[in-house]
Amino acid sequence: MDRMLPPRYDPTEVEPRILAFWEEQDLWRCNPRSGKPPFSIVIPPPNITGRLHLGHNLVYTLQDLLIRYKRMAGFEACWFPGTDHAGIATQNVVERALAREGVTRQDLGRDGFVRRVWEWKERYGNEIIDQLRVLGCSCDWSRQRFTLDPGLSRAVTLAFVRLHEEGLLYRGDYMIHWCPRCGTALSDIEVEHEEVDGHLYFVRYPLKGGGHVTVATTRPETMLGDTGVAVNPRDERHRHLIGKTAVLPLLNRRLPIVGAEEVDPEFGTGVLKITPGHDPLDREIGKRYGLPTVDILNSDGTINAHGGPFAGLDRFAAREEVVVRLKAAGFLEKVVPYRHAVGHCQRCRTRVEPRVSTQWFMRMKPLAEPAIAAVREGRIQFVPERWAKVYFDWLTGIRDWCISRQLWWGHRIPAWYGPDGEAFVAHDREGARRLARERYGEEVPLRQDEDVLDTWFSSALWPFSVMGWPERTAELDVFYPTSVLVTAFDILFFWVARMVMMGLHFMDEVPFREVLITPFIVDEHGRKMSRSRGNMIDALEVKESHGMDALRFTMAQSSTKGREMRVSMRQLDEARNFENKLWNMARFILANTADLPPTAELDGRPLAPEDRWIRSRLSWLVEKVRTELDRYNFHLASDALYHFAWHELCDWYLELAKLRLGGEDVEARATCQLVLREALGIVIRLLHPFMPFLTEE
Question: Binding residues for Zn ion, per CB under 5 A?
Answer: 179, 181-182, 345, 347-348, 350
Residue 121 or 405: the one with the smaller Cβ distance to Zn ion is 405
Question: Considering the complex, what minimum distance in angstroms separates the CB of residue 91 from Zn ion?
Answer: 10
Q: Which is nearer to Zn ion, 178 or 391 (CB)?
A: 178
Number of Cβ within 10 Å of residue 165's Cβ equals: 10
Rank residues 56 and 347 by Cβ distance to Zn ion and give the closer one: 347
Q: How far is Cα 653 from Cα 658, in angstroms, rounded to an integer?
A: 9
If the CB atoms of residues 196 and 591 are measured against Zn ion, the closer one turns out to be 196
352 vs 694, beta carbon nearer Zn ion: 352
Q: How far is the CB of 100 from Zn ion (least distance, A)?
A: 19
Smallest gap, in angstroms, from Cβ of residue 87 to Zn ion? 11
The rounded distance, in Å, linking the Cα atoms of 693 and 697 is 6
Nearest to 10 by CA among 541, 579, 688: 579
Q: Write the single-letter amino acid at 63.
A: Q
* Closest CB to Zn ion among residues 179, 372: 179
**Least Cβ distance, residue 106 to Zn ion (angstroms):** 17
- Let me know: does 640 contact 625? Beta carbons within 8 Å: yes
Q: How far is the CB of 2 from Zn ion (least distance, A)?
A: 59
* Nearer of residues 93 and 163 to Zn ion, judged by Cβ: 93
Q: In angstroms, what is the minimal distance from the CB of 345 to Zn ion? A: 3
Query: Residue 677 contacts by C-beta under 8 Å, 6 or more apart in sequence?
Result: 589, 593, 596
DSSP code at position 116:
H
Q: If you compute the radius of gyration of the chain from its CA atoms, what whole number of angstroms results? A: 32
CA distances from 225 to 208, 247, 292 (A): 19, 13, 9
CA distance 573 to 575: 5
Which of 581, 496, 575 has the alpha carbon at shortest distance from 542? 575
Decide whether 76 or 454 has the Cβ nearer to Zn ion: 454
User: Least separation, in Å, of the C-beta of 179 and Zn ion?
Assistant: 3
Going by C-beta distance under 8 Å and a sequence separation of 6 or more, which residues neighbour residue 215? 202, 203, 205, 229, 268, 269, 271, 272, 273
Length of the chain: 697
Output the DSSP codes for 363-396: --HHHHHHHHHHHHTTSSEEESTTHHHHHHHHHH
Q: Nearer to Zn ion by C-beta: 314 or 422? A: 314
Residue 663 gets which letter from DSSP? S
**Which long-range contacts (C-beta less than 8 Å, at least 24 apart) are formed by 604-608?**
605/667, 605/670, 605/671, 605/674, 606/671, 607/671, 607/675, 608/660, 608/668, 608/671, 608/672
Q: For Zn ion, which is the closer residue by CB, 350 or 381?
A: 350
User: Of the two residues 90 and 558, which places its CB atom closer to Zn ion in the complex?
Assistant: 90
Backbone angles phi, psi at 358, to 5 degrees: -85, 115
Strand, helix or coil at 55? helix
As a whole number of angstroms, the distance between CA 204 and CA 213 comes to 6
**Of 448, 353, 347, 452, the residue nearest 404 (C-alpha):** 452
- Name residues whose C-beta falls within 8 Å of residue 497's C-beta, 6 or more positions apart in sequence: 368, 371, 391, 394, 395
Q: Which residue is nearest to Zn ion (CB)?
A: 345
Using CA atoms, how far residue 596 sits from 602, 654, 664, 666, 670, in Å, is 12, 17, 15, 11, 7
User: Cβ closer to Zn ion: 307 or 343?
Assistant: 343
Name the percent of the chain in helix, strand, coil, to the closest 5: 45, 20, 35
Least distance (Å) between residue 181 CB and Zn ion: 5
CB of 428 vs Zn ion, minimal distance in Å: 31
Least separation in angstroms between CB 171 and Zn ion: 23
Relative to beta strand 520-522, strand 76-80 is unpaired
Using CA atoms, how far apart are residues 529 and 522, in angstroms rounded to an integer? 6
The SS3 assignment for 24 reads helix
| Residue 105 CB neighbours (<10 A) | 21
Q: Output the smallest distance, CB 95 to Zn ion, in A.
A: 11
Nearer to Zn ion, 344 or 543 (CB): 344
Question: 346 or 571: whose CB is closer to Zn ion?
Answer: 346
Quote the least distance from Cβ 353 to Zn ion, whole Å.
11
Of 93 and 425, which CB lies nearer to Zn ion in the complex structure?
93
In the complex, least distance from residue 192 CB atom to Zn ion, rounded to whole angstroms? 11
Please, what is the minimum distance in Å from the beta carbon of residue 104 to Zn ion? 16
Judged by DSSP in three states, 584 sits in helix
Residue 406: CB minimum distance to Zn ion, A: 11
Beta-carbon-side half-sphere exposure of residue 694 (alpha carbons within 13 Å): 33
Give me the least distance between CB of 360 and Zn ion, in Å please.
19
Q: Using the minimum distance from each CB to Zn ion, give the nearer residue, 81 or 87.
A: 87
